[in-house]
Amino acid sequence: MNRDIQVWTIKDNYRLGSDINSKVLAFAFGLSAEIERNLISQRTKEALARKRAEGVVLGRPKGSKSKIKKLTGKDAEIKELLSKKVSKSAIARILGVHRLTVTGFIKENGWVFSLLLSGFTGFV
């Protein structure tokens, strides 16, 4: 309230100005908001502790990953580009993903060994 600004609350008809009563009221509002935040945090922590005590596993399971990848359904296109000896970087640009996404997708699908047998050495 340093700039002679007044805050009027419509619902409760409070007028907060630069006088001492307004400063006390603004401090009280701030204090009550902080207390409410602390109570919410405390309730959340207690609920999580109670769930843990009940044996509920919280959070995402370790090692679980999404079944749908960015390149899901593009297997044929990637294989075709690889058979034409297109580099992983170029494939990534064509598909709009990062180079390492393409590399990981190739390795996950076990195409590394079959590509080596066919004479492709573009990413080894």
| pLDDT of res. 35 | 98
Domain membership flag for residue 66: no
Matching residue, tokens 């902080």 = 34
Does residue 64 lie in a domain region? Answer: no
In this structure, what DSSP letter does residue 7 have?
E
CA angle 107, 112, 117 (to 5 degrees): 170
Residue 1 in any domain: the answer is no
* Averaged pLDDT, 17-36: 90
Instruction: Please tell me which residue, 8 or 49, carries the higher pLDDT value.
Output: 49
pLDDT value, residue 71: 85
Domains of the chain: total: 2
Contact 38, 27 (CB under 8 A): no
- Would you say residue 84 lies in a domain? yes
Radius of gyration of the chain (CA): 30
Are 97 and 71 contacting, i.e. CB atoms less than 8 angstroms apart?
A: yes
Domain region containing 22: 7-53
Mean of the per-residue pLDDT values for the chain? 84
